Amino acid sequence: MSVEQAKAFIERMKVDKVFSDRINVLEDAGAKIEAANNEGFDFIHEDMEVIAEEFANAAWVSEQSRAENMSGKSSGLTYFITGCKGCC
């Protein structure tokens, strides 16, 4: 559940500039998490690490997708993850 809260926090950071600015002014990661928790989100640093790893894996898949598309070998998994059919 905490990972889901961290994801919700990231989504709010994307769409709420005032909120994002208020969090981003803080320099320390711990302070940012504390501020997010004070705003009603319930997650810890390790939850953000899980999301960072998911993002890194998605970025790797994206790189793989580009390589597959260049070679004309786009896989079904690539389409499932990225929505790319390899036609561009």
**Domain ranges (residues) in the chain:** 1-43, 45-88
Confidence of residue 63 (pLDDT cuts 50, 70, 90): low
d(CA 34, CA 25): 13
If you average pLDDT over residues 7-35, what whole number do you get? 89
Q: When comparing pLDDT for 58 and 23, which is higher?
A: 23
Q: Is the pLDDT at 78 greater than 50, yes or no?
A: no
Q: Is the pLDDT at 70 greater than 80, yes or no?
A: no
> pTM of this prediction?
0.62
Instruction: Identify the CA nearest to 23 among candidates 14, 32, 34, 10.
Output: 32
Task: Provide the pLDDT for residue 15.
Answer: 92
Task: Provide the pLDDT for residue 59.
Answer: 62
